[in-house]
Amino acid sequence: DAGVIQSPRHEVTEMGQEVTLRCKPISGHDYLFWYRQTMMRGLELLIYFNNNVPIDDSGMPEDRFSAKMPNASFSTLKIQPSEPRDSAVYFCASSLARQGVNEQYFGPGTRLTVT
Amino acid sequence: DAKTTQPTSMDCAEGRAANLPCNHSTISGNEYVYWYRQIHSQGPQYIIHGLKNNETNEMASLIITEDRKSSTLILPHATLRDTAVYYCIVANAGGTSYGKLTFGQGTILTVHP
């Protein structure tokens, strides 16, 4: 398996523009997670899905952020409109639920810069 | 989820064992201890987890004290490629809590030649 795939790897955009980050989880995994990492706040969980259904979006910073998972092999994280403070590395991760095991596989991340 | 406390940074000589401590004095009975690491510019990587017993896999060993209030991750023969931030996380792993991992600041481990 190729692991978790994220695109683009780097994104530079201007304030006010819409940004869409994409993620392809590992085939067969039933959980998908979106994280954001900054120097100031560290690694934060934004939202996660189970079987394509959003379970917990309490980490989504505000209404400008939205996430979808239309099928088991694809998810998007959208920021509209983007702001400079959204600059961060965004990670997608997936896992297969097993009691007592919380082994999440992370993608390489998307480095977002909003100018 | 219980809070964890880790040293900010540690050094280790290449080829020696790296012992990374973690305090989790408020851990509850159904919470597991997980260790992840993040090598520079990469996504975090799962290392090992445990509930009560000591655990070992191809990457590391996890020693959990009998009262479960602290644990130690052991890299038996550290290499330069083990230089990374190591995160100790305490979380439930079942039911409605599955999936929520809270990453703290972790320990920056630097392995020296």
pLDDT-derived band at A100 (thresholds 50, 70, 90) equals: low
pLDDT at A1 over 90: no
Q: Is residue B79 a contact partner of residue B50, using CB atoms and an 8 Å limit?
A: no
Q: N- to C-terminal Cα distance for chain A?
A: 36
Q: Using the beta-carbon criterion (under 8 Å), do B44 and A91 form an inter-chain contact? A: yes
Q: Does A25 touch chain B (CB under 8 A)?
A: no
**Cα–Cα distances in angstroms (integers) from residue B56 to residues A70, B61, B62, in the given order:** 38, 4, 6
**Which one-letter DSSP state was computed for residue A84?**
G
Q: What is the mean pLDDT of chain B?
A: 93
- For B43-91, write each residue's pLDDT tens digit: 999 999 999 989 999 999 999 999 999 999 999 999 999 999 999 999 8
Q: How far is A83 from chain B (nearest CA, A)?
A: 23
A22-74 pLDDT per residue, tens? 999 999 999 999 999 999 999 999 999 999 999 999 999 889 999 999 999 99
Q: Which residues of B touch A103 (CB under 8 A)?
A: 46, 49
Residues of A in contact with B34 (CB under 8 A): 102
Residues of chain A contacting residue B97, judged by C-beta atoms under 8 Å apart:
none
**Cβ contacts (< 8 Å) between B98 and chain A: which residues?**
31, 50, 97, 102
Rounded CA gap, A81 and A98, in Å? 37
Q: Copy the structure tokens of residue B17.
A: 């064992």
Contact: A45, B44; criterion CB under 8 Å: no
* Nearest chain B Cα distance for residue A76, angstroms: 18
To probe the interface with B, which of A40, A43, A91 has the most B CB atoms within 10 Å?
A43
Q: Token digits for B112? A: 């020296």
pLDDT above 70 covers what percent of chain A? 97
Distance from CA of A93 to the nearest CA of B (A): 9
How far is Cα B65 from Cα B25, in angstroms, rounded to an integer?
11
What does the DSSP assignment read for chain B?
Answer: ----B--SEEEEETTS-EEEEEE-TT--TT-EEEEEEE-TTS--EEEEEESSS-EE-SS-EEEE-TTSSEEEEEETT--GGG-EEEEEEEE--SGGGTT-------EEEEEE-
Instruction: Inform me whether the C-beta atom of residue A30 falls under 8 Å from chain B C-beta atoms.
Output: no
CB A2 within 8 A of CB A103: no
CA of A69 to nearest chain B CA: how many angstroms apart? Answer: 16
Residue B2 has pLDDT above 70, yes or no: no
CB atoms within 10 A of CB B74: 16
